[in-house]
Amino acid sequence: MSADFRLKNPEDYDKWYGWKHTNPQLLKEAAYGLPELHREEIKGARLVACPGCMATATILPLAPAIKAGFVEENHIVADVKIGSSGGGSKPTIASHHPERFGGVRPYKVATHRHVAEVEQELNALSSEPVTVAFTPHAVNMVRGILSTVHTFTKTPLTSKDLWKALRSTYEGEPFIRFVKYQKGPYQLPDPKVTLGTNFCDVGFELDPRTNRLLLFGAIDNMVKGASGQGVQCLNIMMGIDEETALKSAGFHPM
């Protein structure tokens, strides 16, 4: 579950984590534990490195658009909103309820470590080099992540193009839900409705006026962003039903 084997390039540990990897020979062997992109590798792997929570919520909505070459690879912005459980279990002044409650706090706005794995995974899908500008914000909830990914299209796109790209990447995926409705309070992904589940809700919106394609990924950081994804990978490694122990539909309202 840690970051120890997520990155393929040993130098990325120096750069993003500030330490030298002591077993670089294992990095090539390790599978990146995002089943939607690496199921076959995970099947045969001895070592699976589960992705970071914000990386999961960002890679999954972006992957189909990157694969399809839809967007400018050097103008990608992931604006992430995350609950307090993402900060770990150690109390600090930043996590103190009177300080943490009710605000919107940008942090590590240009230097978050999850960038390394996000770019690694997207570059593997792209013919052009991909850069992701990545900015987390702490918001007033305990669980949940929404990654709002702002991209600019190379050429005009239609909804049909997007649906096609999403379906071709995620058709049959047990833990991807497409969320795009015309009415009601949950028209696009909102982490609230993923709480307690292993789903990643993926949605999009086209904004032709600004040549923008908006992509959204919502997860429960403690499930699809952590242990749930770990269990999903384990199920795959063991050759058992991938949904074993993960069939929760979530609670609503929560």
Catalytic residue among 50, 53, 200, 233: 53
Q: Which of 33, 51, 61, 191 binds a copy of itself (CB under 8 A)?
A: 191
CB closer to a copy of itself, 151 vs 235: 151
Residues near 121 by beta carbon (within 8 Å), at least 6 away in sequence: 32, 34, 37, 51, 55, 59, 63
Task: Tell me the site size for a copy of itself, rule CB under 8 A.
Answer: 73
Q: CB of 241: closest distance to a copy of itself in angstroms? A: 18
CB closer to a copy of itself, 148 vs 169: 148
Q: Which of 192, 5, 162 is nearest to 81 (CA)?
A: 192
Q: 62 by DSSP, 3-state: which?
A: helix
Binding mask 114-133 for a copy of itself (x = CB under 8 A): -----------------xxx
Q: CB of 20: closest distance to a copy of itself in angstroms? A: 21
Contact criterion met (CB below 8 Å) for 36 and 176: yes
Q: For residues 133 and 135, what is the distance between their CA atoms, to the nearest angstrom?
A: 7
81 binds a copy of itself (CB under 8 A): yes
Strand-pair category, 176-178 with 200-207: parallel
Q: For residues 166 and 12, what is the distance between their CA atoms, to the nearest angstrom?
A: 30
Q: CB of 118: closest distance to a copy of itself in angstroms? A: 12
Q: Which of residues 140-169 bind a copy of itself (CB under 8 A)?
A: 140-144, 146, 148, 150, 152
